[in-house]
Amino acid sequence: MTRGCCASAFFYFPEVFHIANAVHQINEEIIDKEIRLIGAEGEQLGIMSAEKALEIAAEADLDLVKIAPGSNPPVCKIMDYGKFRFEQTKKEKEAKKNQRVIEVKEIRMSPSIDTNDFNTKLKNAQKFLADGDRVKVSVRFRGREMAHTQIGEVLLKDFAEKCGEMAAMDKAPKLEGRSMSMFLSPKSSTPPKKPAKPKTPKAEPVEE
């Protein structure tokens, strides 16, 4: 329980907490003339004054928490607010743990890149895509190469085509300054099918 054991301590501690980007008013912070009260077990206790609801919560050694301030009248619930905060924080941590942040990896090439370097960068991009990341592929032009930017466009389209089985081009090659770039995103893949088990040949009866 978040408040002190006696009424004189009620106004000493702040009673507004931030949970999951929301603000919950609890206990004496709730000053509405009327509220709709829900009990600790989820039972409907009806409409009453906030003062009366706070008395009921205090008798149960629990907190009064406003859970729906926009309702008419506002809805409050009797609960152990400290336990509620702990469980919400735990759920948020679990959600973040299971959430994968998609990164943007960059592959840089020159218009005169040789075949070996091209294949090496292609393998790196395919690995990034297999890991679920987006890939930005760019070609940097120097000096007189700016007069032949179509070479870079052909190079990028060839790169995208070779990644076609696992990626989609979500931004076509575009020249910006001295660089031409495109973006590849991994395709949603389905889990590979399990290979069928080989059938065991039936034994043929042996004639005696």
> How many structural domains is the chain composed of?
2
Assigned domain for 16 exists: yes
pLDDT of residue 79: 92
126 and 63 in one domain? no
Task: Tell me the one-letter amino acid at 171.
Answer: K
60 and 14 in one domain? yes
109 and 77 in one domain? no
Residue 123, domain CATH: 3.30.110.10
Assigned domain for 65 exists: yes
Interatomic CA distance for residues 87 and 68, integer angstroms: 19
pLDDT of residue 96: 77
117 and 167 in one domain? yes
pLDDT digits (tens, 9 = 90+) for 136-192: 999 999 999 999 999 999 999 999 999 988 898 888 899 999 999 999 999 875 344
Look up the pTM and report it: 0.45
- What does the H/E/C string look like for the chain? CCCCCCHHHCCCCCCEEEECCEEEEEHHHCCCCCEEEECCCCCEEEEECHHHHHHHHHHCCCEEEEEECCCCCCEEEEECHHHHHHHHHHHHHHHHHHCCCCCEEEEEECCCCCHHHHHHHHHHHHHHHHCCCEEEEEEECCHHHHHHHHHHHHHHHHHHHHCCCCEEEEEEEEEECCEEEEEEEECCCCCCCCCCCCCCCCCCCCCC
39 and 11 in one domain? yes
179 and 142 in one domain? yes
Assigned domain for 191 exists: no
In angstroms, how far is the first alpha carbon of the chain from the final one?
Answer: 86
108 and 79 in one domain? no
Task: Tell me the one-letter amino acid at 59.
Answer: E
Assigned domain for 208 exists: no
pLDDT digits (tens, 9 = 90+) for 10-26: 333 334 434 444 568 88
Assigned domain for 131 exists: yes
Tokens of 90: 């735990």
pLDDT of residue 117: 94
Assigned domain for 196 exists: no
pLDDT of residue 195: 43
Name, in order, each residue with C-beta under 8 angstroms of 6's C-beta and a sequence gap of 6 or more: none
C-alpha distances in angstroms, 92 versus 63, 96, 101? 22, 6, 15
175 and 121 in one domain? yes
109 and 178 in one domain? yes
Task: Tell me the one-letter amino acid at 176.
Answer: E
Final residue belonging to a domain, choices 96, 115, 138: 96
C-alpha distances in angstroms, 159 versus 103, 123, 183? 20, 11, 11
pLDDT digits (tens, 9 = 90+) for 91-140: 888 877 766 667 889 999 999 999 999 999 999 999 999 988 999 999 99
Final residue belonging to a domain, choices 75, 96, 117: 96
Assigned domain for 47 exists: yes
Residue 34, domain CATH: 3.10.20.80
Assigned domain for 195 exists: no
108 and 90 in one domain? no
Final residue belonging to a domain, choices 64, 96, 128: 96
Structure-model confidence comparison of residues 21 and 86, the more confident one: 86
127 and 86 in one domain? no
Where in the sequence is the domain holding 87, given as residue range(s)? Answer: 7-96
